[in-house]
């Protein structure tokens, strides 16, 4: 069966990551939020430092937002840090929801993150479907839920994530190294999606880059960065104010 081959491969080849050595829902939630659109190699040291500083939901909930943002600098999408803190405030007050459905009520927790925490921390038999998992299932020609083995959701979710991240990648799948290639309808026939014809905007020219630079400067207690341009700086600051990532203090802009 596809699932048997996948799980056997995961036992032998699965990535050894610190959040896979715990069933603490807080530690797992921190890892899942950090991993959103951020590479694993960048997350590992930041995850360990975060848990060393705030080892439980209650300690993060009690932390000043400015400290939380300073600790997050460099991980991108700074709103995630404050939403994580908001979620921990709910947990500190009400306790942990234990199902994917209930976890979705936490601030900033969507379907994938809820399913990941529910399966890894609480053993719920639910598939955690991110982009990698959806791609693997699509290439196999199967629905994810149809592949989910009884009683082994956590191992299955980790295995599907690893397969999609390391072998069944979007542009250069390594079908020769795939443990389920013999049962895959797409093996050896996957074509890389075409790259957009229109030139992409450089990240350094984006408002997101400007927002990140401004938050990093404020976190370091430095002046607003030069070289972004007055219009882009103004637009970025307006967005940060709207999202609650900075506040006005007279004529100054600072972290909340």
Q: Which residues on adjacent β-strands are paired with residue 252?
A: 249
56 given a catalytic annotation: no
DSSP secondary structure string for all residues of 5-49: HHHHHHHHH----GGGG---HHHHHHHHHHHTTS-HHHHHHHHHH
CA gap 255, 221 in Å, rounded? 9
> Cα-atom radius of gyration of the chain, to the nearest Å?
21
Q: How far apart, in Å, are the Cα atoms of 182 and each of 14, 132, 154?
A: 20, 20, 24
Q: Are 16 and 96 in contact (CB under 8 A)?
A: no
CA gap 154, 150 in Å, rounded? 10
CA gap 106, 36 in Å, rounded? 16
Using alpha carbons, select from 206, 207, 219, 209 the residue that is nearest to residue 245: 219
CA gap 130, 113 in Å, rounded? 9
Query: Active-site residues: which are they?
Result: 32
């Amino acid at each position: 069966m596809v699932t048997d081959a996948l799980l056997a491969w995961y036992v032998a080849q699965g990535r050894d990551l610190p959040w896979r050595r715990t069933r603490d829902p807080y530690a797992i939630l921190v890892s899942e939020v950090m991993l959103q659109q951020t590479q694993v190699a960048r997350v590992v040291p930041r995850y360990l430092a975060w848990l060393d500083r705030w080892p439980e939901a209650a300690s993060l909930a009690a932390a000043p937002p400015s400290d939380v943002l300073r600790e997050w600098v460099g991980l991108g999408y700074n709103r995630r840090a404050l939403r994580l803190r908001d979620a921990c405030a709910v947990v500190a007050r009400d306790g942990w929801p234990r199902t994917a459905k209930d976890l979705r009520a936490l601030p900033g927790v969507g379907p994938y993150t809820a399913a990941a925490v529910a399966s890894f921390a609480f053993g719920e038999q639910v598939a955690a479907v991110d982009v990698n998992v959806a791609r693997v299932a699509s290439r196999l020609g199967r629905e994810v839920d149809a592949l989910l083995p009884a009683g082994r959701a956590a191992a299955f979710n980790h295995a599907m994530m690893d397969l999609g991240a390391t072998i069944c990648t979007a542009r250069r799948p390594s079908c020769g190294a795939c443990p389920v290639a013999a049962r895959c309808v797409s093996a050896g026939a996957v074509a890389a999606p075409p790259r957009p014809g229109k030139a992409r905007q450089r990240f350094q020219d984006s408002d997101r880059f400007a927002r990140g630079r401004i938050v990093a400067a404020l976190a370091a207690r430095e002046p607003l960065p030069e070289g972004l341009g007055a219009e882009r700086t103004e637009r970025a600051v307006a967005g940060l104010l709207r999202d609650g990532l900075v506040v006005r203090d007279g004529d100054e802009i600072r972290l909340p």
